[in-house]
Amino acid sequence: MAGLCRALGRAPEAAHLAQLSTAIRRVLDHQPRTPWSLVRRSLDGQGLISVRDSELLDRLRRADHDEIALMQRRLPAGARALIRHGQHPLRHRVADEDMLLDADLERHLPLDLVDVLVPDGAEDALVPLGRAWMQAKQARRELANAAGAPDAWHMVGGLRRTDPVSPDVALLAVTGDPVGWSRRAADALPRDVLIVAGARAVAVAADPEPIVVHAVRPESAATSLVWYTGPRAHVRALRTRASATGVEFTRDALLEGAREIPLVEEVDLYTRLDLPFIPVELRGRAGVLEAAQAGTLPTLLEMEDIRGDLHMHTVYSDGRDSVAGMVHAARALGYRYLAITDHSPTSKASRVLTIERIAEQAGEIAAVRALVPDITILHGIECDIQEDGSLDVPDAVLERLDIVLASMHESYGHSPTRILQRYDRVMRHPLVNVITHPANRSPGRQPGYALAFERLFEQARATGTAVEIDGAPGHLDLDWPLAEIAAKMGAPILVDSDCHMSDRLGRQMRFGVGLARRAGIRKDQILNTHEVSAIRAFVAAKRDGRAWQP
């Protein structure tokens, strides 16, 4: 800011900036979401601003991190909002450091202007969960190297909520000296990594949106965690509830007058607001506060409830690791069983399991079983569903396997009705136990099949075929609300990793569990929270033509 003021020959007066923001508002009132270049041209053309003003406004848009940090403290809200409208890489998220929420803006600006300046996520780039996770880990490493490891890290925003795609990937660094920590990070991070730094936040480069890292004191951790986990509507609702009881919920504290009410964990905030803890994955649900108040929130599935993982790949198809590698990873996660399920011959995967090699794989699995007797290894397969709804592996071969997964990787351009007919045929097959990633969607890329899913789930229940919640970042399918419908209809449900690398086995199962939690699913509604005997009984019931009883 000092440089900016020098360049302009004077300090930006608050009143002067407010006048400018009024002029800009007039343009935006007339034509909402006008690009910055046009706003400026219009102001210039109307003689509303001087050359120096126009220079100032351009500088505001392109301000570097020192300027932004200072601006956040000095500028009136209207002027800060200008940064939001500009094309700065962080757009409105820069201002979030001190202004944080629309609610703060609303105190200073009329609502219509807030709507213009803070579009509702639509213009944000959405970051897929898998990518966000990897980039957040990388950002943590870089920041720990630059500024030292904080006392604790938390993933917040969409990452913590297991949103398949989200506009608000962020991290929380808990440290006794947030300002010093941010300053050290800003000073030491390479220029291509640091995008912008605020007084208590830095943003680091990531694709397609930067990751914002907020630094907070340990005393603020509980409120900040709720605040930055969001979503915004939930935080707003809690703020409203807090003020109704005479306290103020801010990012940094729960305040009773000027006094900070001490809170240790997130749950303490909810308790103080006379609510039970609201699971992160449910916070975006409409009516969740009312459900919490009424005591009707479900007890959700936990990672610890998972007994085994029934979908993963090895070097026999497009996986990276051996059978033994996957077994050891599953064992390290404390699983009691797993299934090795490589891709069948007609799959478009980069490598597939040929019919001839199925016997070879069986031999290798038998050898690993002998070496690692404390975990049950099921031999399965992920079979591609053919154009006519048949499978590409003969029944005589499938019969010798412990479990058969069927996948609709290829639509052949069929209509939803035709796809459903193929699913219908394959689910009647007595050797098919699981429909993997039923919608065949890819977050951020493919919306998935628009099927009459109720019919699919009804058929799954009737035939004793499980539908899968697949935690692979490229699938994240079934997600809410489909998974919720499947559970309500009583379809058997599995949560699997569909993992292709042993070191991601746990992460992808976590994603799957997160999706089940978003859907409000309980432990008893998931097949693989049971022992392997229940899985074997499930498979045997269908092979024997008996009805499956949960």
Q: Are 178 and 215 in contact (CB under 8 A)?
A: yes
Q: Which of 498, 513, 518, 526 binds Zn ion (CB under 5 A)?
A: 498
Q: Two tokens at 414?
A: 């069929």
CB of 407 to Zn ion, least distance (A): 4
209 touching Zn ion, by CB under 5 A: no
Interface with Zn ion by CB under 5 A: which range of 2-10, 123-131, 366-374, 403-411?
Answer: 403-411
Residues in the chain: 550
| Bond into 32 cis (ω within 30) | no
* Nearest CA-CA partner of 465 in 547, 378, 376: 547
Q: Which is nearer to Zn ion, 175 or 407 (CB)?
A: 407
Q: At what angle do helices 14-30 and 36-45 cross, to 10 degrees?
A: 100
477 touching Zn ion, by CB under 5 A: no
Interface with Zn ion by CB under 5 A: which range of 64-72, 391-399, 493-501, 505-513?
Answer: 493-501
Interface with Zn ion by CB under 5 A: which range of 168-176, 350-358, 407-415, 516-524?
Answer: 407-415
Q: One symbol per residue from 54 to 93: x for binding Zn ion (CB under 5 A), - otherwise; what is it?
A: ----------------------------------------
Q: Which is nearer to Zn ion, 173 or 381 (CB)?
A: 381
Interface with Zn ion by CB under 5 A: which range of 15-23, 95-103, 362-370, 380-388?
Answer: 380-388
Q: Which residue has the tokens 């890819």?
A: 442
Q: Are 548 and 541 in contact (CB under 8 A)?
A: yes
Sign of CA dihedral 358, 363, 369, 371: negative
321 touching Zn ion, by CB under 5 A: no
497 touching Zn ion, by CB under 5 A: no
402 touching Zn ion, by CB under 5 A: no
Interface with Zn ion by CB under 5 A: which range of 43-51, 67-75, 287-295, 492-500?
Answer: 492-500
Q: Which is nearer to Zn ion, 321 or 382 (CB)?
A: 382
Residue 470 sits at φ, ψ, to 5 deg, of: -100, 120
In whole angstroms, what is the distance from residue 425 CA to residue 149 CA? Answer: 55
Backbone conformation region of residue 364, classed left if phi is above 0, alpha if psi is from -120 to 50, else beta:
alpha
Q: Which is nearer to Zn ion, 343 or 461 (CB)?
A: 343
Q: Which is nearer to Zn ion, 21 or 436 (CB)?
A: 436
Q: Which is nearer to Zn ion, 90 or 340 (CB)?
A: 340
CB of 342 to Zn ion, least distance (A): 8
* Nearest CA-CA partner of 231 in 265, 280, 271: 280
Q: Which of 162, 407, 442, 529 binds Zn ion (CB under 5 A)?
A: 407
Q: Which is nearer to Zn ion, 109 or 515 (CB)?
A: 515
Full DSSP string of 285-348:
STTHHHHHHTT-------GGG--EE--B--TTTT-SS-HHHHHHHHHHTT-SEEEEEEEPTT--
| Residues in touch with Zn ion (CB under 5 A) | 382, 407, 498
